[in-house]
């Protein structure tokens, strides 16, 4: 089925041709369509009133997490031997897109997506024992992770991280500070990047950083929640680490190679968040179109006026064009091909399209677009979040300029 509307929506990896090369198609497989349909049905039980209440009072959406865990969805892209489905980032992106599109937006997606991409370094570099110990409870919904990389004084300059892990016998002791740590209020485990060799003692700044996946031990952590503009039910935090002991067996891969390992989670993160942006935008445009058909002013529905039609149609075109780049990047990743430029371009285009679509939808509602009961104002706030994080549009453009156009590195 060629893409013609909301339900046929992706450029995916398809079958292989007679030479064994992966082909790109503009269609979803039946299995991928079933994933989308199933997730939309599952998320329909969490209606607008549910997300309005979460936006007002906060509180982690445990009910959504439990429903997805019971359906086996938390391990969609994890190995089957640990309880996962063994599918690709394409299927994971289709799932995350549907979660956002069903109405939960970033509040729903952010509660789940770290489960899907965050432990990719463990999948790639963990031992069999680590995978069994770390992935199995995550997939079953028995543990929740958080991702502790960003620091307040270094931001995206990851090689300058100041959090230190010092080896003492059969353990490491960690001291430092992290910021914008999502779900730290409810986390059981933590994927932590820390410096084990001082920056001045390594040949390359990317060396000397080590990755750990370990217990989120609150006896050694001071967690301070950050009040923010949106996504109230998924907490963001400052994290102060004082003398945190980490067993040596919780180190992932080789000591000092954590930066290289963490990169294996970044391209999937870009792609999935881009997919979530598409979901948010589609939901906003759907709300706006329905309202425009029903709202009658001067004896005719406002949706009959081209001044209302054209901005919405323009946004639809941009959203669906961005989605093709999202799925193209996902297909490249799953085919084992380089996808950094495409993943970053997908995030750039999808976030910009989502911001424009949600704001246009809000304007379609007129004054009611400013009221919480019509829900689009929440989507406006949540789309803006993804334009900023996990990486700014300026750095995305710098990366694309360097890698795609061959221009000198600017950062």
* pLDDT tens digits along 70-98: 999 999 999 999 999 999 999 999 999 99
Residue 2 has pLDDT above 50, yes or no: no
> Is the pLDDT confidence value at 286 over 60?
yes
Query: Does 17 score more than 90 pLDDT?
Result: no
pLDDT band of 21, cuts 50, 70, 90 = low
Q: What is the mean pLDDT of the chain?
A: 93
Residue 117's pLDDT is 87
CA angle 316, 322, 326 (to 5 degrees): 135
pLDDT at 9: 40
Residues with Cβ < 8 Å from 378, sequence gap 6 or more? 51, 52, 55, 105, 107, 230, 372
Would you say residue 167 has pLDDT above 70? yes
Helix (H) or strand (E) holding 282: helix 258-294
Q: Identify the burial level of 198 via C-beta atoms within 10 angstroms of its C-beta, where 0-12 means exposed, 13-18 middle and 19 or more buried.
A: exposed
State yes or no: pLDDT of 7 exceeds 50.
no
pLDDT above 50 for 4: no
Q: Render pLDDT for 235-264 as a digit per residue (tens, 0 to 9).
A: 999 999 999 999 999 999 999 999 999 988
The pLDDT assigned to 84 comes to: 95
Percent of the chain's residues with pLDDT above 70: 94
Using alpha carbons, select from 349, 269, 263 the residue that is nearest to residue 89.
269
Q: Which residue's entry shows tokens 């193209």? A: 328
Q: What tens digit of pLDDT does each residue of 175-227 get? A: 999 999 999 999 999 999 999 999 999 999 999 999 999 999 999 999 999 99
Report whether pLDDT(5) > 70: no
Residue range 94-145, pLDDT digits in tens: 999 999 999 999 999 999 999 888 899 999 999 999 999 999 999 999 999 9
- Tell me, what's the pLDDT at 6? 37
Return the pLDDT at 411: 86
pLDDT at 156: 83
Does residue 374 carry a pLDDT above 80?
yes
Region of 27 (left: φ > 0; alpha: ψ -120 to 50; beta: rest) is beta
DSSP 80: G
- pLDDT for 23 equals 53
């Amino acid at each position: 089925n060629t893409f013609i509307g909301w339900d046929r929506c992706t450029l995916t990896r398809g079958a292989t041709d007679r030479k064994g090369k992966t082909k790109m198609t503009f269609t979803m497989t039946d299995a991928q369509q079933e994933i989308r349909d199933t997730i939309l049905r599952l998320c329909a039980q969490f209606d607008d009133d549910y997300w309005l209440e979460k936006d007002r009072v906060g509180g982690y959406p445990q009910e959504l997490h439990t429903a997805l865990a019971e359906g086996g969805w938390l391990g969609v892209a994890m190995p089957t031997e640990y309880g996962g489905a063994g599918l690709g980032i394409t299927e994971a992106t289709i799932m995350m897109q549907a979660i956002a599109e069903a109405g939960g937006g970033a509040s729903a997606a952010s509660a789940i997506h770290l489960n899907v991409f965050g432990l990719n370094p463990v999948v790639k570099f963990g031992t069999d024992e680590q995978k069994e110990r770390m992935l199995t409870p995550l997939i079953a919904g028995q543990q929740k992770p958080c991702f502790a990389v960003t620091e307040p004084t270094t931001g995206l300059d990851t090689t300058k991280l100041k959090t230190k892990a010092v080896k003492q016998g059969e353990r490491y002791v960690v001291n430092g500070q992290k910021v914008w740590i999502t779900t730290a209020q409810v986390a059981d485990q933590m994927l932590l990047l820390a410096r084990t060799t001082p920056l001045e003692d390594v040949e390359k700044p990317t060396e000397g950083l080590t990755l750990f996946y370990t217990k989120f031990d609150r006896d050694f952590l001071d967690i301070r929640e950050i009040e923010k503009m949106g996504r109230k039910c998924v907490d963001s935090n400052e994290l102060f680490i004082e003398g945190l002991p980490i067993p040596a067996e919780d180190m992932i891969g080789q000591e000092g190679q954590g930066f290289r390992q963490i990169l294996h989670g970044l391209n999937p993160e870009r792609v999935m968040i881009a997919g979530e942006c598409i979901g948010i935008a589609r939901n906003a445009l759907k709300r706006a179109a329905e309202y425009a058909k029903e709202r009658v002013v001067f004896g005719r529905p406002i949706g009959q006026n081209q001044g209302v039609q054209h901005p919405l149609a323009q946004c639809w075109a941009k959203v669906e064009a961005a989605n093709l780049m999202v799925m193209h990047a996902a297909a490249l990743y799953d085919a084992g091909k380089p996808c950094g430029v495409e993943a970053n371009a997908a995030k750039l285009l999808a976030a910009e399209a989502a911001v424009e679509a949600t704001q246009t939808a809000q304007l379609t509602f007129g004054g009611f677009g400013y009221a919480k009961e019509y829900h689009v104002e929440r989507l406006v706030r949540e789309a803006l979040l993804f334009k900023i994080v996990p990486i700014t549009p300026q750095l995305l453009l710098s990366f694309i300029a360097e890698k795609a156009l061959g221009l000198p590195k600017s950062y």
